[in-house]
């Protein structure tokens, strides 16, 4: 933590080597975070570049008494990802209307057996609206009210998107983890 704070202090003074070290420490986390929201690698790199500009330009607003740098910087990446996503969305209510809803709960034991790469690919395969709400609620810890405000949708739409995302994930997991999923049905 002291080393990180030292790097942050140096970054605020414009020390390029400190900026490079801070970037190296978090680039994988930031990039995989953007990939959860933005499916195309090139788009995720654009999001990351925009997020980095904000992270370094707003570094003087970071207060380690209010939370960790990791959380603070990751929220910036999430916000940039959402802003990028909204540019290409006509409506956040995306998905198949005839989706057979299997259950509201995706098996945590099935998900824990997936590698990070497999889970990321599975989340990326969700329709845009489902994916963004799932990421915001399940992974980044936003409430439905916060999601509704962030995406300019109703709380009900947020809940519906999450429910459908979980059902679709469960459906995708079923062939791989049918025994685990039967236990929760």
**Helix, strand and coil percent figures for the chain, each rounded to 5:** 70, 0, 30
* d(C-alpha 26, C-alpha 157), whole Å: 33
Residue 97 has what pLDDT?
Answer: 31
What domains, with CATH codes, occur in the chain? 2-87 (1.10.1740.10), 108-184 (1.10.10.10)
The alpha carbon dihedral of 148, 154, 156, 162 has a sign of negative
As a residue count, the chain comes to 185
pTM, whole model, 2 decimals?
0.67
- Position 152 scores a pLDDT of 87
Give me the DSSP letters along 32-97.
Answer: HHHHHH--SHHHHHHHHHHHHHHHHHTGGG--TTTS-HHHHHHHHHHHHHHHHHHHT-S-S--S-T
C-alpha 12/C-alpha 30 separation (Å) is 20
Q: What is the pLDDT along the chain (185 residues), one digit of tens a residue?
A: 788 889 999 998 989 999 999 999 999 999 999 988 888 889 999 999 999 999 999 999 998 888 899 999 999 999 999 889 877 764 333 333 322 222 333 444 444 555 667 777 888 888 988 999 998 998 888 999 999 998 889 999 999 999 999 888 888 877 665 554 454 44
């Amino acid at each position: 933590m002291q080393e990180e704070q030292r790097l942050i202090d140096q970054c605020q003074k414009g020390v390029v080597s400190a900026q490079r070290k801070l970037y190296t420490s978090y680039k994988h986390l930031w990039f995989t975070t953007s990939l959860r929201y933005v499916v195309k690698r090139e788009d995720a790199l654009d999001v990351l570049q925009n997020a980095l500009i904000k992270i370094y330009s707003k570094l003087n607003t970071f207060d380690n008494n209010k939370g960790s740098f990791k959380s603070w910087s990751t929220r910036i990446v999430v916000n940039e990802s959402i802003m990028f996503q909204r540019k290409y969305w006509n409506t956040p209510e995306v998905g198949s209307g005839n989706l057979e809803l299997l259950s509201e709960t995706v098996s945590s034991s099935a998900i824990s057996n997936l590698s990070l790469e497999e889970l990321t690919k599975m989340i990326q395969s969700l329709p845009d609206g489902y994916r963004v709400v799932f990421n915001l609620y399940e992974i980044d810890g936003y409430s439905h009210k916060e999601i509704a405000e962030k995406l300019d949708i109703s709380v009900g739409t947020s809940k519906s998107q999450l429910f459908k995302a979980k059902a679709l994930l469960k459906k995708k997991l079923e062939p791989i983890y049918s025994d685990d999923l039967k236990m929760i049905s």
